[in-house]
Structure 1
Amino acid sequence: MDFAWKIVKREGHGTHNHSLVVYEEGHRGINGLSPRAKNLIRQMNNAHAKPKVIMPAVQTEYPDDHPNMRHIYNYKDKIRRDANEGRNPAQQFLHLEKEHKYVQWIAVEEGSRAVPHAFVSHPSMVEVLRTYPLVIGMDTTYKTNKYGFPFLEIVGVTPTNQNFLIAYAIMKDETADSYRWVLEKLKMLLGASVSPKEILTDKEPGLLKPVAEVFPNTAHLLCTWHINNDVEARVGKICGNKLNGEYFKNGVWKRIMNATSEAVYNAVVADMEENWSRWSAIMTYVHGTWLKHKEKFVRYETNKVLHFGNRTTCRVESQHSVLKSWLGRSHGALDTVFRKVHAAVENQFIEIKNRLECSRRKHGVKYNGFLFQHLTGRVLHHALHLILEEQKRMWELSVEVYERCGGALLTTHGLPCACTIFTANQCGVGLYIDLIDPFWKTLRIREGANIPQFLEETAQDADHFRVLVDEVLNSDVAVIRGISSLIHDELHREHAGHVKPDPNVSRRGRPPNDRNSTTRNLSHVEHVRRSGSRGRVRGRGRGRVHSEARPTGIYSSSSSFSLGTFTSVDHLAGHFKEQIPNLIYPFLCGFNDVDGDGNCGFRCIAHYGYGDEARHREI
């Protein structure tokens, strides 16, 4: 007992040296998560619920745990660390791909184990691609990962008018070599015997040459939406007046884009060169940047391509939006990005199957007419809708249907055009299934028109691989060891010691005020539209000419004409609008209602020249 210790309370010190607990949520010794609360967090985390959503659920179900947000974040982090089992983000990324049987390729930097490029495709989407391989769109988005790498989405189109994510690629940069690497992997995914009818992109400099090299038999179209925006912004900048950019885009440029024949195209280009000759910089820009690629966007050229109505990359932009709604933040690691995209793709695949089954099971009242009697239940609803719209066009063309039809729907969509529908109506037999492109008749995944080619090529590839295996087995044991090592490393990348890439210091799209945001930055044309005053009041009425199409005249910014001294034409009374010739109306910039004292003509001139109609006596 002499060596035992004891506690002695000093006189005058028998009180707490801190205040008692008031809020249990902030006391680490009292609060915490029970096993049931942790299980709920795990389930909601697997469903990709955000912490701000998980917190109310835990608070409602287990109020005695006194949880706070730090508990939620800490336990989510523990779940991730337990799942990684000591693997770094790059190794976990490769492990998850193998676990979910993804088709993937990676590139490894020489001298390091960093992963600068990765191409990833969900196994279900590979099957959808091989069923519907005809249209492929691709575009790059940013603010998706902590490394600042561009995120390339490759998107396909189903006959139900839905998008599907064929694959995505995380690239270190956007050079031609990087795009070529991605396109070669896409070609390997498709196989040598199948080529898309169309690849749709914006005018990314690094993409133009690789697309032509890797897919020489595929039409490469450029997004008309991006083209129009670029033309509007550039012309407005050259003129020093953005309203002139709108006028050019909605006037002569629109006529060039929509030219239905080479003769019409040449005539409109000649008209542009005559009326805009004073702006040599515009002519240089238009010819040097766009018209040399006219076969990629002008309508009479694209009408030769079976593009199924896809002339813009809006589908890919829509896919960007879906992706970022799942990501939720812009600084996820490789494994985090994989898990979020995987969940988005799984959800997308369910929606595709749902829409396909609707076309098989439901016929729709509006498709009950004799015209569709051979098609309902055998052709996708979206195709029937397009035929119905073409039938309306047939009635509009009336007796001139054969002369004015043009057959565009047949060549671009693989569907009966107006004159074919007219003939079917006249004969009273309806449209036969043979008139429909196989794309629209494929109601089951793995049963597309190109599937036999895929199966045949797969068998050939398997036979070729067996020949190689036999050749290796007949070689020296050293050769067997070397090739076995190569195959093992290729099949088990997660064990190869790869590391995450270094952040890209030249990243694009990172906003300075919110480093967690996934929202894209404004494009050039959006900056132009937002900058400065538009010089007019936007009307909300329904005039004969859209306010975006109304020019300021072809005046330079230094002109003495000032729209600020006039009232916007949008506010012109309707009965006055009707008296203005259609040819003149698009060129009006504003109006002024002078006194009607018999000198109105002189007053108009005085107002224009002097800025004061009262000086009309000086005219």
Structure 2
Amino acid sequence: MENLPQICVDTTDAFITTERFGTREEVIRWIKEVGIDNKVTVIISRSDTETGKRGRSNKLIFGCDKGGKHKRTDSGTQSAPKKCGCPFKIRLTTDEKQHVADLTKRHVPPRHILLSLQDRDPENVTRITQVYKHKSVIQKEIRGPMSEIQHLFKLIEDACYVYWSRKKDDSEVVREIFWAHPDSVKLLNIFPIVLVMDSTYKTNKYRQPLFEIVGMTSTELTFAVAFAYMESERTENFCWVLEKLKELFVKKDMCQQVILTDRDLALTKAIEIVFPRSINLLCRFHINKNVSAKCKQHVVNDLQKTIDTLWMEVVWASDEVEYGQRLHQLEKACVDYSGFINYVKDTWLTPHRHRFVGAWINRVLHLGNTTTNRVESAHWKLKQMLENSIGDMVKCWKAMNNNLRLQLGNIRASFQKSFYDVEHVHISPFYGYLRGSVSRAALRRIAEELLRVDYVGTNRQICGCTLKTSYGLPCACELGRYTLGGIPIPIDVVHVHWRKLTMEVELEVGEDDGSEVDMTCPMDELWRRFRSLDVIGKRALKSRVCELAYPTMTLLCPPPEKLKTKGGVKKKGKKPAEYDVYRDPSYHEYVDKASQSSQRKSQPSQTSKKLNTIHSSIS
């Protein structure tokens, strides 16, 4: 009997109806009658009744009594099961499936897909669970028999990304993976002066930190340079990532001049090792917030605003003389608060003042980047695409790739605007040499600096020349000299960064760098080694070469999921906090909340208790 061919009859059309049924019994009676007419025994596969509780609703799922697979038991009894895997079930139509697939490709959430189906057909009774199930079927069909890492490598290869990965010792588990979009590599080599780096969390189910590197175009838009998933945030991990970043530069002497980060000691040390000639600035925003939080802990309420103001004057000091004066004023105001002033000096000023105080960083060509807000904003946009933190690496890569496509489109549009659009303030002949050759962002900064000419004149002492040294643009005293002479601003006084208005360039290596992309010697050596090995050795070497030649055949596997093993049972209907993509509150945010709470009531709050537990690690 097993060898006899099965006779398949499609009865789909018989069960399609536009009729509305008033009661549960009516629909059951109708579908059973249709089943009898078509020689199909229809049963209720699953049902539910609305009780008023969340998640409960009236529903009936019908299926064939021969649907499903028989579960074998060791009862010892000879039986002939009637289940044969009959696929009959009341399900989405072919047109609805295609509509779900199209909207899924456009990253439309399931709830909106369901609304779209109902808009197309007001009589549609599709449920959200059917949409989720079909989305899952689509994803499985796309991946096919490939593993997660094989699928990831296929997507990366198809999109022509540059990527590297490495595995843990004595295992096939991915340790780190680094990738960069080909257009991002172009932008990096066009705009290499400033890079901003930071890690973000809660982006994947493996709980691995995501390290993101971004740069800035001549139109002051952010572009993502590269992403890296890391096993941990130690110096050795950062060194590996930064070495791969270094390989993205076409010319080895073209490394970035400024790298902006938070005060991560492991990352700072890695930058010193890999990019010893680069200047590592620290984020002013986070430093100021941490100092303000410490002030709220040590200083009485009446003096907090005064001391915060004095601190900001220290940070914004224009030269070393002014810095010394402002610091002396801060010390006098904090004479009764030794804990606070010692924290400020020992943690920030003594070891790091040259990384964030104006007297030092105003001499650095940072192009206006003194905080990590640029990369923080990039994190936020990526997480808007991700929606939750329980996706795998493939989902994360797709979100990054889609975000990059939007980003690159905006950058190209901004270049075109700088070419063809002229703002009214820039119509003057004074900007004649710059219009269409310099970005509108640079022209705006020059126009703002021109307003200072009235009281600066041509005096360099009053001017300070910060725009010249920090932005590479003509400062007020220089503009004053052009104004007095009736000379338009020469294009040569504008840094080349602001004059680049295209990314349609070919990356060409110089004559001295040609050997770096020559594969002749390595391939000859590989063949020599291959011929010298025995059969087992040849198999091993071939398998390693095949992994490079055919990435979709890789044996690499993702790291194990980090499951939560402690904590109470979550209430039904509530989304677990560890599934969202939102970052945990920072130290200064705990302090601000505790400070606000203490003003409303005198008893200690839960925030205060939490603050005490993290205080020691921050200070």
* Alignment pair present for 1:235 and 2:295: yes
Q: Which residue of 2 aligns with 1:194?
A: 254
Aligned 8 A contact 1:102 1:121 in 2: yes
For structure 1, the 5+ residue unaligned runs are: 1-17, 538-556, 558-619
Aligned 8 A contact 2:234 2:266 in 1: yes
1:457 is displaced (CA, Å) by: 6.3
**SS of the residue 1:431 aligns to:** coil
Q: Which residue of 2 aligns with 1:318?
A: 377
1:34 is displaced (CA, Å) by: 1.4
Aligned 8 A contact 1:137 1:200 in 2: yes
When structure 1 is superposed on structure 2, of 498-507 and 253-262 the one drifting more is: 498-507
1:506 is displaced (CA, Å) by: 9.6
Report the CA distance shift for 1:85/1:533 in structure 2 as closer, same or farther (over 3 A).
Answer: closer
When structure 1 is superposed on structure 2, of 177-186 and 266-275 the one drifting more is: 266-275
Aligned 8 A contact 1:103 1:122 in 2: yes
* Alignment pair present for 1:342 and 2:401: yes
**SS of the residue 1:45 aligns to:** helix
Q: 2:266 aligns with which of 206, 219, 240?
A: 206
1:284 is displaced (CA, Å) by: 2.4
Q: 1:280 aligns with which of 338, 341, 344?
A: 338
When structure 1 is superposed on structure 2, of 496-505 and 202-211 the one drifting more is: 496-505
State how far apart, in whole Å, the 2-side matches of 1:301 and 1:129 are. 26
**SS of the residue 2:196 aligns to:** strand
Q: Which residue of 1 aligns with 2:142?
A: 83
State how far apart, in whole Å, the 2-side matches of 1:476 and 1:284 are. 64
Report the CA distance shift for 1:95/1:373 in structure 2 as closer, same or farther (over 3 A).
Answer: same
State how far apart, in whole Å, the 2-side matches of 1:243 and 1:55 are. 56
**SS of the residue 1:499 aligns to:** coil
Q: 1:21 aligns with which of 27, 32, 38?
A: 27
Q: 1:469 aligns with which of 517, 523, 536?
A: 523
Aligned 8 A contact 2:307 2:330 in 1: no
* Alignment pair present for 1:333 and 2:333: no
* Alignment pair present for 1:527 and 2:580: no
| Matched residue type, 2:274 | V
Aligned 8 A contact 1:149 1:503 in 2: no
State how far apart, in whole Å, the 2-side matches of 1:273 and 1:168 are. 43
| Matched residue type, 2:61 | H
Aligned 8 A contact 2:458 2:480 in 1: no
State how far apart, in whole Å, the 2-side matches of 1:304 and 1:363 are. 31
When structure 1 is superposed on structure 2, of 474-483 and 435-444 the one drifting more is: 474-483
1:489 is displaced (CA, Å) by: 2.4
State how far apart, in whole Å, the 1-side matches of 2:513 and 2:138 are. 40
State how far apart, in whole Å, the 2-side matches of 1:166 and 1:245 are. 40
Q: 1:44 aligns with which of 85, 94, 103?
A: 103
Q: 1:220 aligns with which of 269, 280, 284?
A: 280
| Matched residue type, 1:469 | M
Report the CA distance shift for 1:446/1:246 in structure 2 as closer, same or farther (over 3 A).
Answer: farther
Q: Which residue of 2 aligns with 1:267?
A: 325
Q: 1:184 aligns with which of 237, 243, 246?
A: 243
Aligned 8 A contact 1:132 1:439 in 2: yes
When structure 1 is superposed on structure 2, of 121-130 and 26-35 the one drifting more is: 26-35
Aligned 8 A contact 2:458 2:476 in 1: no
State how far apart, in whole Å, the 2-side matches of 1:52 and 1:194 are. 49
When structure 1 is superposed on structure 2, of 125-134 and 27-36 the one drifting more is: 27-36
State how far apart, in whole Å, the 1-side matches of 2:129 and 2:301 are. 51
1:59 is displaced (CA, Å) by: 2.0
The C-alpha deviation readout for 1:159-189, integer Å capped at 9, x for no partner, is 1111111111111221112111111111111
For structure 2, the 5+ residue unaligned runs are: 1-23, 29-56, 64-88, 566-573, 603-619
User: After the TM superposition, which parts of structure 1 deviate over 6 Å for at least 4 consecutive aligned residues?
Assistant: 22-25, 534-537
Q: 2:310 aligns with which of 252, 258, 261?
A: 252
Report the CA distance shift for 1:504/1:178 in structure 2 as closer, same or farther (over 3 A).
Answer: farther
Q: Which residue of 1 aligns with 2:427?
A: 368
When structure 1 is superposed on structure 2, of 37-46 and 378-387 the one drifting more is: 37-46
* Alignment pair present for 1:498 and 2:556: yes
State how far apart, in whole Å, the 1-side matches of 2:93 and 2:271 are. 56
When structure 1 is superposed on structure 2, of 490-499 and 348-357 the one drifting more is: 490-499
Q: Which residue of 2 aligns with 1:168?
A: 227
**Identical-residue share of aligned pairs (%):** 28
State how far apart, in whole Å, the 2-side matches of 1:416 and 1:107 are. 46
1:405 is displaced (CA, Å) by: 0.9
1:350-361 counterparts in 2 under 5 A? 350-361=409-420
State how far apart, in whole Å, the 2-side matches of 1:231 and 1:206 are. 21
When structure 1 is superposed on structure 2, of 60-69 and 170-179 the one drifting more is: 60-69
Aligned 8 A contact 2:362 2:469 in 1: yes
| Matched residue type, 2:561 | P
1:305 is displaced (CA, Å) by: 1.0
1:380 is displaced (CA, Å) by: 0.5
Aligned 8 A contact 2:296 2:595 in 1: no
Question: Root-mean-square deviation (CA), in Å?
Answer: 2.7
Flag the structure with more relative contact order, 1 or 2, with Cα contacts below 8 A and sequence separation at least 6.
1
Q: 2:154 aligns with which of 83, 95, 108?
A: 95
1:532 is displaced (CA, Å) by: 4.4
State how far apart, in whole Å, the 1-side matches of 2:219 and 2:511 are. 27
Q: Which residue of 2 aligns with 1:139?
A: 198
State how far apart, in whole Å, the 2-side matches of 1:34 and 1:177 are. 54
Q: 1:478 aligns with which of 521, 529, 532?
A: 532
TM-score, normalisation: structure 1: 0.77
State how far apart, in whole Å, the 1-side matches of 2:174 and 2:164 are. 10
| Matched residue type, 2:429 | F
State how far apart, in whole Å, the 1-side matches of 2:341 and 2:563 are. 37
**SS of the residue 1:106 aligns to:** strand
Q: 1:414 aligns with which of 457, 472, 477?
A: 472
State how far apart, in whole Å, the 1-side matches of 2:511 and 2:261 are. 30
Q: 1:118 aligns with which of 169, 177, 187?
A: 177
TM-score, normalisation: structure 2: 0.77
Aligned 8 A contact 2:458 2:477 in 1: no
| Matched residue type, 1:462 | V
| Matched residue type, 1:59 | Q
State how far apart, in whole Å, the 1-side matches of 2:118 and 2:272 are. 58
**SS of the residue 2:442 aligns to:** helix
State how far apart, in whole Å, the 1-side matches of 2:225 and 2:367 are. 18
Q: Which residue of 2 aligns with 1:572?
A: none
State how far apart, in whole Å, the 1-side matches of 2:558 and 2:527 are. 36
State how far apart, in whole Å, the 1-side matches of 2:316 and 2:282 are. 14
Aligned 8 A contact 1:236 1:246 in 2: no
The C-alpha deviation readout for 1:201-234, integer Å capped at 9, x for no partner, is 1101221100111111111000000000011112
* Alignment pair present for 1:515 and 2:569: no
1:27 is displaced (CA, Å) by: 3.0
Aligned 8 A contact 2:176 2:231 in 1: yes
Report the CA distance shift for 1:170/1:356 in structure 2 as closer, same or farther (over 3 A).
Answer: same
State how far apart, in whole Å, the 2-side matches of 1:430 and 1:348 are. 34
1:54-65 counterparts in 2 under 5 A? 54-63=113-122
**SS of the residue 2:243 aligns to:** helix
